[in-house]
Structure 1
Amino acid sequence: MSANPMDALVQRATTQLNRLDDALASLHAIRAEAVSRDGRVRVEVDGNGSPTGLWLSESLHDLDARVLARTITETAHHAAAAAAEERNRITTALFDTYDES
């Protein structure tokens, strides 16, 4: 193998590695949040859908505990769905670049 084809191979591998590193960094940085319909609950999740923050309004005193639990769960679900969409966007873009190579 001559130097030129080897250089091209190394450059291609380096480019793909850099794309993978960028995608991994983007996946790690994903944060998504959702607010409940009544605006009293806000949930933030990471790229895996794991909660990283929960904010509750001070006006929850009139809310039944079961309703609050359901509201938190639904809001967390919406935030996790948004994180999953972003994760899918990043991985699809990464895989598309490999199809181009």
Structure 2
Amino acid sequence: MHVVETMDELIARVQRQVYRLTDLHEALNGILITETSSDGTITVEVDGNAALTGLSFTGGISEFTPEKFEKLLVETARAAAHRALTERGGLIDDFNSESTR
């Protein structure tokens, strides 16, 4: 544990922590993942919370059965969400590891 010697040192330490929190917040809000299905017909975009922010299709989906469309859409969305949450977790892990130094 670090002992604070002066009020100036305490203020500087708190200010560094505020800057780090602000940087983390901005990095988390900046996560935007785009995932395209293996055949290129479906593109899904999600944010750092894995919330859907964009969805697009090519004309190739017109040849899909409803079951194939649903399966490919869910697989693509799941892959995008996984990547977003993995990136988010990495940012939080980095922040936490820096906080314990």
Tell me whether the two structures share a fold, i.e. TM-score over 0.5. Answer: yes
Counterparts of 1:1-101 in structure 2 under 5 Å?
5-100=6-101
The Cα of 1:37 is off from its aligned counterpart by: 1.2
Within 1, Cα distance between the matches of 2:43 and 2:54?
8
The Cα of 1:57 is off from its aligned counterpart by: 0.8
The Cα of 1:85 is off from its aligned counterpart by: 1.1
Secondary structure of the 2:56 match is strand
Identity among equivalent pairs (%): 31
Note the aligned Cα RMSD (angstroms).
Answer: 1.0
TM-score of the aligned structures, taking structure 1 as reference length: 0.91
Secondary structure of the 2:63 match is coil
Secondary structure of the 2:43 match is strand
Aligned residues of 1:44 and 1:51 also touching (Cα < 8 A): yes
Within 1, Cα distance between the matches of 2:73 and 2:51?
13
Letter in 2 for 1:13: V
Give the number of equivalent residue pairs: 97
Secondary structure of the 1:52 match is strand
Aligned residues of 1:43 and 1:53 also touching (Cα < 8 A): yes
Secondary structure of the 1:61 match is helix
The Cα of 1:17 is off from its aligned counterpart by: 0.8
Within 2, Cα distance between the matches of 1:38 and 1:59?
9
TM-score of the aligned structures, taking structure 2 as reference length: 0.91
Secondary structure of the 1:60 match is helix
Structure 1 residue runs of 4 or more that deviate by more than 3 Å after TM superposition? none
